[in-house]
Chain A
Amino acid sequence: MYIVEMGILELKQTLNGHRGRVWNVCWHPNGTCLASCGEDKTIIIWGQQDPKWVVKTILTEGHTRTIREIAWSPCGNYIASASFDSTTAVWDNKSGQFECNATLEGHENEVKSVSWSCSGQLLATCSRDKSVWIWEVNDDEYECAAVINAHTQDVKKVRWHPNEEVVASTSYDNTVKIFKEDPGDNDWSCIATLSSHTSTVWSLAWNKEGNQIATCSDDQTVKIWQEYKPDNEPGIVTPNNESVWKCVCTITGYHTRTIYDIDWCKTTGLLVTACGDDIIRIFKEDSDSDPHQLSFTMVCSMDTAHTQDVNCVQWHPTIPGQLASASDDGSVKIWFYNE
């Protein structure tokens, strides 16, 4: 008999400020503030005024349609925002307040996601036009370095590796793809396709080391993928001298609707999911988990975490256990998970 120790997810604060659905939240890299965005076409920056979180700034007029996602640069001085208006805006606070000083155009329709590489020198965007774009950042100039047409459908999410220039994307075509630049010809190409989900893959999260990826899907499962480098110990064949990614765990039977987002805590290793059944769930890797066949146990399930779909969850970058969520119910919530 395996006894599961359930933890408690404690609500710290509900942040109301958006009108309508909130699509995304993103912590500043040092954790001092939080950005959120949604269908009201605004970005709200929340800061802490002890003990409460309050609105610090509202950024408007950068986009003409829904803002789907925002991302802080690793240095914390820039915010990139992806919008249904088919552009990505980059905001900086050089003047002392955030201003939109660059608009990246090129996608044919809705931009769904944006992500900065660990160096802050590269930006990736993806769109319903099925493409992933890589942008090079040079002194506030953004140049398109690659347009990658590897997916066959709407691309939902892009996320850079935590410490290498490797980017992963998820799509409505049910796959996850990994891209890397070929140093020979500077061409970006797909180096791996992760197939196993049976419906739209909505989001992904890298682990701290970058050798595992967690993905979540409309098929109501979470999958964990393990990287096997050339000459790996278990002897998994790696054609073309490229890493092979294998699904080493499927978390099934917990979620009752689409899983819209997942985040992997870099400090605690806990996984958190955002689901269309309004529930936030937390999973922990079992202590006796086999590295080639991982097992996870649900350690927390917060019913009615929101009154509508949960769209986004993100762990705080430095405070273990703290997390933020965003929902169709128009609110952003700050939580603390106690083991």
Chain B
Amino acid sequence: MGDTLENINPKLYKKINEREITVEDEDEDIVDEFDTREIFDLIRNINDPEHPLSLIEIDNKANKVCVKFTPTIPHCSMATLIGLSIRVQLLRVLPPRFKVSVEITPGTHMLEAAVNKQLADKERVAAALENNHLLEVINQCIGIKC
């Protein structure tokens, strides 16, 4: 991350309440499919923009998860890194059958199409994750603050 803040006055969102655990959640016999809240919880603590996530679509039958994130400002240079961190986190924690797509919320970034194309190219994502320096930065972003 740079020395100076790119967005000195980010829009702050109210932190969502912790998920309440119900009796059903603890019952091992109940098939518990992934839901949007669960995906949200998996990525909500990724560092930098406080709560960039505005839309999550999940289709358990089709094994699809689509996350649309909103960069804090339309020229945010960290958009690719944030998207990559979301993608990496979901690749690591979800079963491999899921097709994960991460995109910028339409109309919220100047390089939306270019960033989306790069995030969707699994070959370039794979190559990026073999770069130790980049991997370290991503791990720092994903690392949950205690």
- CB of A110 within 8 A of CB of B99, answer no
Q: Which residues of A contact B117 (CB under 8 A)?
A: 172, 199-200, 218
Bound CA span A307–B122, Å: 16
Q: A172-B121, A200-B117, A200-B121 are in contact. Are A128 and B97 (CB under 8 A)?
A: no
Chain A residues near B120 (CB-CB < 8 A): 218, 258
Is the Cβ of B127 less than 8 Å from the Cβ of A308?
no
- Beta-carbon contact of B127 and A84 below 8 Å: yes
Give A196 Cβ to nearest chain B Cβ, in Å: 17
Let me know if A112 and B123 touch, CB within 8 A: yes
Q: Which residue of A lies closest to B98 (CB)?
A: A308
In the complex, the chain B residue whose C-beta lies closest to that of A84 is B127
B101's nearest neighbour on chain A, judged by CB, is A257
Task: Please determine whether B97 and A84 come into contact, CB atoms closer than 8 angstroms.
Answer: no
What residues on B are CB-neighbors of A109 within 8 Å?
Answer: 127
Contact residues in A for B97 (Cβ distance below 8 Å): 307-308
Alpha-carbon separation in the docked complex, A55 to B120 (Å): 33
Interface string of B75-95 (1 = CB under 8 A from A): 000000000000000000000
Give Cα A199 to B130, complex, Å. 25
* B2 interface contact, C-beta 8 A: no
Q: A84-B130, A199-B117, A200-B117 are in contact. Are A128 and B124 (CB under 8 A)?
A: yes
Pick the residue among A66, A200, A258, A328 that contacts B127 (CB under 8 A).
Answer: A66
Query: Cβ of B121 and Cβ of A257 under 8 Å apart?
Result: no
Report whether A309 and B126 are in contact in the complex, using a CB–CB cutoff of 8 Å. Answer: no
Interface of A is mostly: loop
B residues 109-146 near A (Cβ < 8 Å) are: 117, 120-124, 126-127, 130
Q: Are A329 and B126 in contact (CB under 8 A)?
A: no
| A177 contacts chain B at the CB level, 8 A cutoff | no
A154 within 8 A of B: yes
With CB as the reference atom, state the residue of chain A lying closest to B97: A307
Q: Note all chain A residues with C-beta closer than 8 A to B126.
A: 21, 39, 66, 84
Tell me whether B107 is interfacial, beta carbon within 8 Å: no
- Verify A329–B96 contact, CB threshold 8 A: yes
Task: Number of B interface residues at 8 Å Cβ cutoff, please give it.
Answer: 12
Q: Which of A87-141 contact B (CB under 8 A)?
A: 109-110, 112, 128
Bound CA span A111–B130, Å: 14
- Residues in chain B near residue A162, CB distance under 8 A: none
With A276-B99, A329-B96 in contact, is A66–B130 under 8 Å at CB? Answer: yes
Chain B residue nearest to A218 in the complex (CB): B120
The answer for the CA separation of A199 and B114 in the assembled complex, in Å, is: 11
Expressed in whole angstroms, the minimum distance between the Cβ of B109 and any Cβ of chain A is: 18
- Measured CA separation A277–B121 after assembly (Å): 14
- Give bound CA distance, A39 to B122, whole Å: 13
A154-B124, A156-B123 known, 15 other contacts, Cβ within 8 Å: A39-B126, A66-B126, A68-B123, A84-B130, A112-B123, A128-B124, A172-B117, A199-B117, A218-B120, A257-B99, A258-B120, A276-B122, A277-B99, A308-B96, A308-B97
List B residues at the A interface (Cβ < 8 Å).
96-97, 99, 117, 120-124, 126-127, 130
Closest 4 CB pairs of A and B: A110-B127, A65-B130, A84-B127, A84-B130
Pull 28 A–B residue pairs with CB atoms less than 8 Å apart, ordered by A.
Answer: A21-B126, A65-B130, A66-B126, A66-B127, A66-B130, A68-B123, A84-B127, A109-B127, A110-B127, A112-B123, A128-B124, A128-B127, A154-B124, A156-B123, A172-B121, A218-B117, A218-B120, A218-B121, A257-B99, A258-B120, A276-B99, A276-B122, A307-B97, A308-B96, A308-B97, A309-B122, A328-B96, A329-B96
